[in-house]
Structure 1
Amino acid sequence: MAQTIAVIGGGAAGFFGAITCAQQNPENNVLLFEKTGKLLTKVLVSGGGRCNVTHHCFNPAELTRFYPRGGKQLKKPFQEFGALDTVNWFEKRGVKLKTEADGRMFPVTDNSETIANCLLREARNAGIEILTHTDIAEIKKLENNDFELRSAKGKTWQVNKILVTTGGQNKPESYEWLKALGHKIEKPVPSLFTFNVPDSYLKELMGISVPLAVVKISGQKLESEGPLLITHWGFSGPAVLRLSAWGARILNELNYHFNISINWVPDFTEETLRAELLSYKSLHGKKIISSNPFFGLPQRLWKVFTDQAGISADLRWLDISNKSLNKLLETLFRGTFEVKGKTTFKEEFVTCGGVALSEVNMQTMESRHVKGLYFAGEVLDIDGLTGGFNFQAAWTTGFLAGKSMGREQ
């Protein structure tokens, strides 16, 4: 039996849900609404225009560990459609993916248009009607269990089922139309952002990075390790982005004003590092401290650290005092910085919050409150770390919703 199904939102989850639904039953009439004139915007800009499609983590239980919100609830969905299924889906449609050293997966073309064009082609072949510049402002449940959609311009459509894939919104009022249908909305707050440190003594070193550092939020049980990048506004890189994701709600409550400590040499303990430096002192006492960086740290960064420890530019190792040595150790192990604000990159913007997962059947993505209403993608209270995880959640939830909606009534 043919159904008319509406998909609201022309992003990754919307297209994947619409395509799956149309392919499940070719008789279905699938309408995809996008309020702007642009489709698949995040797909096109993600990964610097290369599109980080998914992550090379093919174990569903392992994959869930990369989601600060929604990981537990995604375990079964990932068993049905996980990262390997995504790879196979695209490859069956002529789009081969490759894996980079950090596990991120991209099209071999290194061009996000390859992914967008594949989705657009599949949608066209499946007979999906795409309506751009159409902002759905209201959903009304009718007595016969169908829905009436009303656009901001007053046009209406009657449909059997609806999939909402409007993405993460940073303003609570953007979810009012879903609250009106009886859904609980977890407060939206930013995730995946960098730290602004206006008074940082490292600002002049913008562009310098270290391959491994541990960043901790003072007074909280929050820490993250990984590559760290010094920027002209503060700090970025995977260590900071992961910390911002896991601490999204706490850092929002702190109004993005807090202290961090950075361990620049996490491969050492304080004792082993002290022993290492004292050994070097006894063997190479005549060497200038500030000119001979340790632990693979960039020369300019090491020089700033020695300056912070009060070590003069011409001081030799044999002349270093215990006080200066202790201060250098403190700088390396617990460099303290005051964070005053955040910076969010528009193309990488991810929201923590959205439709509460307790109100959604995670096997079908159908609302537990409103029969025939489905959700997928970042409109849900699901968010992942950088590395292809947010797209994977979009493909998975879109697939489950599309498959469920496509079945006969």
Structure 2
Amino acid sequence: MRSFDVIIAGGGAAGFFTAINIAEANPKLKVAILERGKEVLSKVRISGGGRCNVTHACFVPNDLVKFYPRGEKELRGPFNRFCSGDTIEWFERHGVELKIEEDGRMFPVTDSSQTIIDCFMEAVKKINIPVLTGESIQSLYKSETHWKVETNKETFLAEKLVMATGSNPKMWEMLEELGHTVVPPVPSLFTFNIKDQRIKDLMGVSAMASVKVKGTKLEASGPLLITHWGMSGPGILRLSAWGARDLFNKNYQFTLQVNWLNDVDTNDCLETLKGLKQEQAKKTVGKHSPFDFPKRLWESLVAASGITPETRWADLSKNQLQALAMQLTDGHFNVNGKSTFKEEFVTAGGIDLKEVNFKTMESKLLENLYFAGEILNIDAITGGFNFQNAWTDGFIAAESIVSNN
């Protein structure tokens, strides 16, 4: 049996960040990381296409929380204590410089997730934190003074336990047995499967669009990417995150309304088309797009409106103009299923937030039990926000643990 002051369950981003912050603030505390797999930080390795999207260049806590479909209210206080700027400063202090891309995402200047992994591994080595792999937790037991953690290999005792095990159903079950409530997990970031003649041969075409789920209040906007299985891109992923539960309940069968002109409504579009009918009377409709999006998409929507490419603008009927305006601003596409977005699988669900003290990240039900990262019912849209939650949770849990020792 081995004893530690703090055991961190989970060798991912949140687990490492918590452990390092505890040991750096109080080197006398004995801290260990337990990881069930053979490797640690595997999600860090694949994130951001192998570049690791560390955080997002949104530095105002009240703005940052708006990127979290679940956790917006609860994270306001924590982000006031450890926000994106603090993340940048922390990594710089540990020898990792970050850069901001045009869309606000932040990556290491090396463009390699290995830089973040090396940073963490060097830190735990320097401050003597044992990282124990292949340790699959079998049971958790709480005594008056200690936590007893039994794995497939051995038994550990610790005064404090940090659960940073991500979306692990087995861990959620154990915590339910100890009295916690788990909000059932559902996928959060996913793309839409759509078979439709209008987009059949347009793989790789991208346009700025607004999208909404018909019959609901769910809507989002951003770049939309046409793929061989349907639609993806930031706009779709945003919608999938905000609609995670509703779309799960619909069994991923619904009608998607797409406005390819983003914020232009049907009436304004119709007026623009009427103007083009006058101004470009002798030109053919299919020759080039009068709007700022790809020519191939324009040609497809023209065809879907019952207009041949050789038709002159002057010859368009009132019905054809109306049909084209509808295709441009309110195209209906039947969604039939979803696909996981790359390997970056994110879930909505986890420990009920009402049962966590967000000033300390400690359980309200069980003393000396802390949470960090995706184990909680917190998730965000794509763009570095899920990692920022991990860093913030980990920092606050560490600060609380250190101050209580």
Task: Give the TM-score range, shorter chain.
Answer: over 0.9
Distance 1:174 1:161, change over 3 A: closer
Q: Is 1:163 aligned to residue 162 of structure 2?
A: yes
Q: Residue 265 of structure 1: CA displacement?
A: 0.9
Partner of 2:247: 251
Give the whole-Å Cα distance in 2 for the aligned partners of 1:337 and 1:214.
13
Query: Superposition pairs for residues 137-216 of structure 1, below 5 Å?
Result: 137-142=138-143, 144-153=144-153, 155-169=154-168, 171=169, 175-199=172-196, 201-210=198-207, 212-216=208-212
Query: Superposition pairs for residues 9-408 of structure 1, below 5 Å?
Result: 9-142=10-143, 144-153=144-153, 155-169=154-168, 171=169, 175-199=172-196, 201-210=198-207, 212-345=208-341, 347-408=343-404
Give the whole-Å Cα distance in 2 for the aligned partners of 1:214 and 1:185.
33
Give the whole-Å Cα distance in 2 for the aligned partners of 1:346 and 1:165.
23
Structure 2 residues not aligned, in runs of 5+: none
Structure 1 residues not aligned, in runs of 5+: none
Contact 2:198 2:301 in 1 (8 A): no
Contact 1:200 1:337 in 2 (8 A): no
Q: CA RMSD in A?
A: 1.4
Q: Residue 174 of structure 1: CA displacement?
A: 5.2
Q: Residue 200 of structure 1: CA displacement?
A: 5.0
Distance 1:408 1:263, change over 3 A: closer
Deviations 1:16-72 (A, max 9, x none): 001111112111111101111111111111111111100111111111111000011
Q: Secondary structure at the match of 1:122?
A: helix
Contact 1:192 1:386 in 2 (8 A): yes
Give the whole-Å Cα distance in 1 for the aligned partners of 2:134 and 2:341.
25
Q: Secondary structure at the match of 1:76?
A: helix
The residue type paired with residue 40 of structure 1 is L
Give the whole-Å Cα distance in 2 for the aligned partners of 1:220 and 1:345.
23
The residue type paired with residue 315 of structure 2 is D
Identity of aligned residues (%): 48
Contact 1:32 1:131 in 2 (8 A): yes
Q: Secondary structure at the match of 2:201?
A: helix
Q: Residue 86 of structure 1: CA displacement?
A: 0.3
Contact 1:20 1:406 in 2 (8 A): no
Q: Residue 346 of structure 1: CA displacement?
A: 5.1
Q: Secondary structure at the match of 1:227?
A: strand
Distance 1:122 1:396, change over 3 A: same
Q: Residue 126 of structure 1: CA displacement?
A: 1.4
Q: Residue 3 of structure 1: CA displacement?
A: 5.5
Give the whole-Å Cα distance in 1 for the aligned partners of 2:268 and 2:217.
25
Deviations 1:210-236 (A, max 9, x none): 0x2110101101100111000111100
Contact 2:55 2:383 in 1 (8 A): yes
The residue type paired with residue 405 of structure 1 is I
Give the whole-Å Cα distance in 2 for the aligned partners of 1:25 and 1:296.
57
Give the whole-Å Cα distance in 1 for the aligned partners of 2:341 and 2:238.
15
Contact 1:136 1:151 in 2 (8 A): yes
The residue type paired with residue 381 of structure 2 is L
Q: Across the two proteins, how many residue pairs are aligned to each other?
A: 403
Q: Secondary structure at the match of 2:99?
A: strand
Give the whole-Å Cα distance in 1 for the aligned partners of 2:132 and 2:374.
21
Give the whole-Å Cα distance in 1 for the aligned partners of 2:304 and 2:138.
56
Q: Residue 104 of structure 1: CA displacement?
A: 0.7
Deviations 1:248-294 (A, max 9, x none): 11111111111111001134233332222222221221111011212
The residue type paired with residue 166 of structure 1 is T
